[in-house]
Structure formats: C-alpha cells, structure tokens
A and B are shown apart, each in its own frame.
Chain A
Amino acid sequence: MKKTATQNSPPPLMVSNLSMRYHHKPVLTDVSFQIPEGKTIAIVGPNGAGKSTLLKGIMGLEPTMGGEICFFGKPLTHKRLAIAYVPQREEIDWDFPINVFDVVLMGRHGQLKLWQRPSKIDKDIAKQALNDLNMWDFKDRQISELSGGQQQRVFLARALAQKARLYLMDEPFSGVDVSTEKAIIELFKKLKRQGKTIVCVHHDLNTVGEYFDWIIFINARLVAAGPVETVLTKDNLNKTYGGRLSLLNDLTEKMYRTQLNKAHDTD
C-alpha cells in the first residue's frame, strides 16, 4: 500500500535537460534524471566531471543555462524546507569563531521568521541531531578544534536539524575516519527507515555498490542512472571514466561563445 503511495507521489528530485557552464566552458550538458523516494543515491564520476556543480545547480547556488528542476513536483522555492544541503567540507572557513552547537542551530534558521530567534524547541532539535551523530559532548567546542570526521558530523547534524525529506550531500565521506564513515552509514539507514531520500556525491567506487541503492553516473553529461544492480556495469564505468566526448564538449563550448542560442529561434 505504501508502495503505491510513493509511486503516485511526485519524485523527490527530477532534473530535465539541465545544462551548466563555467564562463564559456560547458560543465554539464543536457542532464536529465529522476530519483525514487526513500533511497540512497550516489552521484559518481571522475574529477572535474561536474558532480559538485550538478548539486549546486540543483540547489540554485550556481547559475544554470537552462533545464528544469523539480522537488516533489514543485520548484525549489516552494520546497526549500523539505531539502537539506551539506556543502563540501573544504568550502568552509574552519577558523571562523563559532562553536559546534551554534553551527547545528543554523539548521533551524530556515524555519525562523526574520525577527525570530531559535526557540527551546529548535534547541532541542539541534541537541537531538548532535546526539544522533555522537557529537553532543563536543557542543561547546570551537569548530577549528575538530578533526575532519568531527567537522563532517557537525555538518550532518546541521542537515538533520533541518528535518528535511531530501538530503543533498557533497562528498560526505571524503577525508573522514573509519568511525565517522560508520556513523554516516548508520545515519543513512536511519533516514531511509523514515522514508527520507539521500543524494550524495561519492568518489569511492569500492564502496558505492555497498552504501547506495542507486547510482547516477556523470561525466559532463549523464552516462547512466538507475538501481545499483542494473547500472553498476563495466560498460557504464568505462563510459564514465573514459574521458569526455570531445565533439560534444567542443561544439557546446562554441555554442556558448557565439551566443548561438540567442541567435537561434526558440523552438
């Protein structure tokens, strides 16, 4: 019965014909996929394939060249509170003077009105999130005093505090210790039991089949997307890691440079 319900409801994330560029260089061209609810999904591809860019484009953090993105059937602005984004750890200034609890409490600010401050309930939610990641003992620590794994846990706790339905994470497993890796896996299981959906940029091919239900192979374009059992094939790996399609790349770049899409009639 539950199954039919999820099949009828719109997918947590649907991307159609998404293109992104950096100056005139194409980063992603015409990416389309949609993902099922309640699964863990990995975005896999070589360095520079546009994995993080894809996530940022989906979250509206970087401009897209066109295409449509729907969350639970609606545009992002209508569904912000249902989505939690975990940025890459390297993008953060870890010397910033702030402690762990205040970072996690930031996860509640989406729910707060302009003049509101976090309430007791918000603080309880942040506490629960820290407990879930075994980080409550560190609540008063400065973030600069944390290890890499602990920093990642703090960010995951912040995402938990958002109480979202869809989690988008940029390389949560990168540079963490064994115990944090286990903690993240446990967290994934727990979230899945609650019917939440998790999308991760992932770089480790050895673990991708074990940690995730679904894979999206990306290399400047979509190579394949589907359940692990069907898409984790040698053929797809070769296509993903075998370099970019040079003609696609070059001509798209030329198209952007010449502003052809403006000159051409919209069809």
Chain B
Amino acid sequence: MDGFTLFPPPSFWDNWLSFWRFEDINVLWVLMGSILLGMSASVIGGFAFLRKRSLIGDALAHAALPGVMMAFLLFQTRDPLIIFIGALCSSFIGFFLIDWLPKNTKIKADTALAITLSFFFAIGLMLLSYIQGLEVSNKSGLDNILFGQAAAMTEEDIQLLTYVTLFTLITVVLFFQKFRLIAFNQDFARTIGMAVHRYELLLALLIVMSVVVGLQLVGVVLMAAILLTPIAAARFWSNQLSHILIIASMLGALSAIISTQLSYLAPAMPTGPWMVVSLSVLFILSLLFAPKKGLVKRYFEFQALRQQVAEENILRTLYKLLERKEFMHNHFTQADIQSFRNMPSSCLQSTLKQLGKKGLIKASTQGVQLTQSGLERATQLTRRHRLWENYLNQQAKLLPEQVHQQAERIEHILTDAQEAQLQRELSNSQSDPHGNAIPTTHKADKTQDAISSTSNTRGGENFD
C-alpha cells in the first residue's frame, strides 16, 4: 500500500471509498464494462494465441486508429457507434492486407504485419495531429484513444462495449468446439467439410470488435497485451482449454478492476498502462507459482530428484561393496563408500542421514549397513542398472564400456513395468556385459541370512 502515497494522501481513501460505494453510478458501469472487456479480450486473444497469430490483435488495434480519426473528421461527432464503425472498417482493411500480402507476394507474414501496423498507425497519428489543429468542438480527449482512459468513457461507450463483449463471449461459448478444432488442426477441419474460411472471418470479426471497443479503455498502443498476457499466464495453470480460457478471463477481469479503479483515483493516469502492468504482474506470479508448471515448483521437483539420485547412488554403492564381500560382511565406513563413489564428505553425510531417516540404512560404530528394505531397494536398482546395460549391449549394440554411463542415469527412472518388459525382452540374462550377476528379488531373499548373521548391532541408532 506504500506505493499509493504517491497520490495526494488526504483525499485518497475518500476517493477510494467513494469509488467502491459507487456514489457515482457511472463508476459502476465503467467497472462492469471494463470487466467484460477484460474477459472477452482474454478469451478471443486466446484463440489468436493458439493459432499462433498472436500479433494480429496488435496490428488490428493500430489499424483502427485512422478509422477513428476519419469517422470523427467526416461526421464531426463522438457518437460511439459511428466511431466504432469507422474503426471497424479500417481494422478490417488492415486485416485483409495482412492476409493478402503473404498469399500473393513474396512478403512473409511477419513482415506484412509489421508494415501494415506501422503504416496505419502513422496515418492515424497524422490525422490526429491534423484534427488537433482544427477549430472543432469536442475534439479534446480524442488522444485518449492512444493509451486509454476509463474515467472518460460515456454511458453510450459503455453500452456499446457491453453489447459487443457479451456478443463475443456468447459466440465463443457457442462455437467453442469448432474454434478449437480449427485452431488445433485446420487442414483436418477442411477435410471434414467445415467452412474454415467463415469461422476465420468470424474469429477475425470478434477480435476486431473486441479491440475496437477496448480502445477507449486500453488504448491502441497496448491493446495486444490485453489479448495475449492473460492466456499466456493462464497457460501455466491448466492443460485443459476450457479451464485455461476461464482462468484467462478471470485474470483479464482482475486487471480491468485494478486499472479502472486507478483511473478514477488518479485521473492523470492512463488506464492502458496500468492494465498491462497489473496483467504482467499476474503473469509473473503465474510463471513463478503455478501449481504444476511454475518455476518454483519445478525448482523443488528438481531438488527432490537430485536428492533421490544421491540417495540411490549411495544404496547402489553399498550394494556393490556388499557384493565385493560376497554378502558376508555388511558394515562399511564412509571411506569405503568414497572409494567407490567420489562425492564430498558433507554431501555424503547429509545423504546418509536422509537414508537413515527413511530406514534404508542403519549406522553403528562399525559403520553403515543396509537394512532389509534398504537392501531390497539397492538390489532393485542394481538389477535395473544391469538389465539396462544388457539391453543397450544386446539390442542397441553398444560396447560394454559404453553402456555404464547411461545405465547410471536410467536406473533412477525405470518403472516396474519397464523392468518387467526388459526382463521379457532379455529372457536369458544372468549377468551384465561386465560379467556381474544380475540380482533378482529372490536373490535378495537368499542373502538375507548372510546379512542377519552379520548384523548383530540391530539396535544401532539412526545415522545422524
């Protein structure tokens, strides 16, 4: 909340309270409008994103500018419907240009987009400065269209905005499956006889309309962010398209609330940048903290994997030591372990501690020993390691000296089913390519006697 002291402190809370008490009924309408816009822009932008045409919204928003100015020049009015139609026309001209250029010339799609975007924007700016030099009434505030100004919206603006956004949302809900099919596999959609071109036009119309009604609120320059940031953020939260779109629309609505409110509290602030900044914050939060794909989660998963690998490597080492002693001796010192596996003492000690906690090893004055469950796990790992070596050697024809490195890694991720499959495919493997026996679970039973005979320090405390 410290950041808010930027604004005149005495009136801030009053303003804020009066905003949320909706003392000015217009506030309520603008808020509703911006929420609807946030939702519909996120949803329709989602389909542009999925069709890998993310930048189309940006180009269309810029392409709308000359239309707005022309409509104002021709009709000398700020009537929302006339401005809307003007913007719609020039946006569509831009859309067809972007579509036509790559199909009929050597110009690639990205170039066509960039050329169209800047050309239309330049014309729009020229017209805007021309209008500002004219002696016409109600020209002031026309430049709000560049960065958006929610507080400046009129009741008619909001009405139009509501109709258009509701139309967009309802259309998307109705045609969700068709839109998804086309976005996923356009060629297939055409082979089953869907009128792909018509759906594309419909999608384009929805994007153009959402962009155009959003201009008052967000502005030409930043419109693309409202279309794309929500879906990009929502992509981290789910794998199901319907959920992704719902989450995206929530994010869009949330940022709309934040920015509209600020537009009232600090009238000098344009709405667009606030909306984009709040969306970007939501995006960064999603990137970091999303439950499955967030960076934080992935970091912890990686740490857990590292821990698991370290522990399993120690178990394997203990098994090999045991094997060398022909299962007659089951106490090994840290030096024994380190002679087999080169790892720093601190790391070794902490890993041994973890293994002790899990009951896989026991520590005593004579050193560490595998418990029954520890031995089973170690046997399983060794078995998987050696089966994989055999597989590489026999089926992939790798030389025995080439197989160890890979098996060291694969042993940690083989599942029971894959182990069984290996067993089936290598029916008669008794030993690995280096001549070491491949242990079985039965073998673990056999060695049990040997271990219990040497493990008379059963009461030994956990290693710590």
Contacts and interface: CB of A to CB of B under 8 A. Distances in A.
A109 B184 CA distance: 14
B238 A110 contact: no
B73 interface: no
Given A97-B240, A142-B239, A109 B192 contact: yes
Contacts of B174: 115
Contact of A91 (B177, B187, B193): B187
A92 B50 CA distance: 12
A110 B192 contact: yes
Contacts of B329: none
Interface residues of A, number: 31
Interface residues of B, number: 24
Nearest to A142: B239
B238 A97 contact: yes
A192 interface: no
B290 to A, nearest CB: 14
Most buried by A among B183, B184, B187, B188: B188
B415 interface: no
B185 interface: yes
Interface string A66-90: 0000000000010011011101000
A84 B192 CA distance: 8
B184 A80 contact: no
Interface string A31-63: 000000000000000000000000010011100
Contact of A98 (B180, B189, B192, B193): B180
B295 interface: no
A117 interface: yes
A96 B184 contact: yes
Contacts of B188: 85, 87, 106, 158
B191 interface: yes
Given A59-B191, A60-B190, A97-B244, A87 B238 contact: no
A85 B191 contact: yes
Given A60-B190, A80-B191, A85-B188, A97 B235 contact: yes
Given A87-B185, A87-B187, A80 B192 contact: yes
Contacts of B192: 80-81, 107, 109-110, 162
A85 B177 CA distance: 19
B254 interface: no
Contact of B181 (A56, A93, A109, A142): A109
A99 interface: yes
Contacts of A99: 239-240
A96 B187 CA distance: 15
Interface string A114-156: 0101100000000000000000000000101000000000000
B55 interface: no
Interface in B223-241: 235, 238-241
B444 interface: no
Given A61-B187, A96-B184, A109 B194 contact: yes
Nearest to B46: A97
Most buried by A among B50, B177, B187, B189: B187
A262 B440 CA distance: 77
A71 to B, nearest CB: 12
Most buried by B among A84, A98, A115: A98
Nearest to B181: A106
B171 to A, nearest CB: 12
B178 interface: yes
Nearest to B238: A97
Contacts of A110: 192-194
A245 B187 CA distance: 31
Interface in B182-211: 183-185, 187-194
Nearest to A106: B181
Contacts of A87: 185, 187-188
Contacts of A96: 50, 183-184
B190 A106 contact: no
Most buried by A among B177, B183, B194: B177
A96 B186 CA distance: 13
Nearest to B186: A61
B145 to A, nearest CB: 34
B184 A93 contact: yes
A189 to B, nearest CB: 24
Nearest to B193: A80
B187 A106 contact: no
A103 B193 CA distance: 17
Nearest to A116: B177
Nearest to A92: B185
Given A96-B50, A97-B244, A109 B177 contact: yes
Contacts of B183: 96
A117 B181 CA distance: 13
Contacts of B185: 87, 92, 106
A162 B174 CA distance: 23
A83 B238 contact: no
A98 B244 CA distance: 11
A134 B235 CA distance: 30
Contacts of B239: 97, 99, 142, 144
A142 B293 CA distance: 14
Contacts of B187: 56, 59, 61, 85, 87, 91
Nearest to B234: A97
Most buried by B among A56, A93, A97, A102: A97
Contact of B191 (A61, A92, A115, A144): A61
A115 B178 CA distance: 10
Contacts of B50: 96-97
Contacts of A60: 190-191
Given A96-B183, A98-B184, A98-B241, A83 B178 contact: no
20 contacts: A61-B190, A80-B191, A80-B192, A80-B193, A85-B187, A85-B188, A91-B187, A92-B184, A93-B184, A96-B184, A97-B238, A97-B239, A97-B240, A98-B184, A99-B239, A102-B180, A109-B177, A110-B192, A110-B193, A117-B177
Interface of B: 50, 52, 174, 177-178, 180-181, 183-185, 187-194, 235, 238-241, 244
